[in-house]
Amino acid sequence: MAYSRTFPFISMLTRWRGLIFACGATKMQQGQTTDEGLRLPMITVTAGLILCDDKVLIARRKPGDQLGRRWEFPGGKVKPEESPEECLKRELAEELDIEVEVDGFCAENVHHYEWGTVRLLGYFASWIEGDINPQVHEEITWADVEDLHNYDFLPADVPIVEELLRDRRWDLS
């Protein structure tokens, strides 16, 4: 503080740098740090488990995307003003050009990547209308639920796959 009276720009710079840190801190998971002591961001993401017979719709990311060429359940980031269910409906409309009804919660997973933390919320969803037209994925497919372990899923999605295989609510036979 003694320097700020003599050199006002130091105080202004300190406040400015603190503001940047404080803005970044709003997305941080409390207590999680890197080896350098920096906090990592956490995002909440939804995943749609759209089932038809014994198959589930999965999507592969484009090669240039973060974690490209890996499989995932379609969905996306929850915006501050929306519920996870609203997010899932919006994201599937944007990513696949389809309308869905969210049927119920399946599972949750928190996964720590090098760049941040993902809280993934998996929901069962029913395809209501629209022709599937992938907008952001390299490929989509209807995969046999029992064969999901043969796909290279994103690490955050793997526990959702395991729960889907364990929880037979989707099996109507």
7 band by pLDDT with thresholds 50, 70 and 90: very low
Count CA within 13 A, CB hemisphere, residue 58.
Answer: 25
Kind plus residue range of the DSSP H or E element containing 59:
strand 55-61
Short-list 49, 78, 27, 86, CA closest to 161:
49
pLDDT > 90: percent of the chain: 65
For residue 37, pLDDT beyond 60? no
pLDDT mean across residues, the chain: 81
DSSP letters for 16-48: HHHHHHHHHHTTEEEEEE-TTSPEEEEEEEEEE
Dump pLDDT digits (tens) for 52-74: 988 999 999 999 898 899 999 99
| Per-residue buried b or exposed e for 45-54, using 16+ beta carbons within 10 Å of the residue's own CB | bbbbbbbeee
Kind plus residue range of the DSSP H or E element containing 84:
helix 84-96
For residue 43, pLDDT beyond 80? yes
Dump pLDDT digits (tens) for 71-122: 999 999 999 999 999 999 999 999 999 999 999 999 999 999 988 999 999 9
Write the burial class of residue 106 (CB in 10 Å: 0-12 exposed, 13-18 middle, 19+ buried): buried
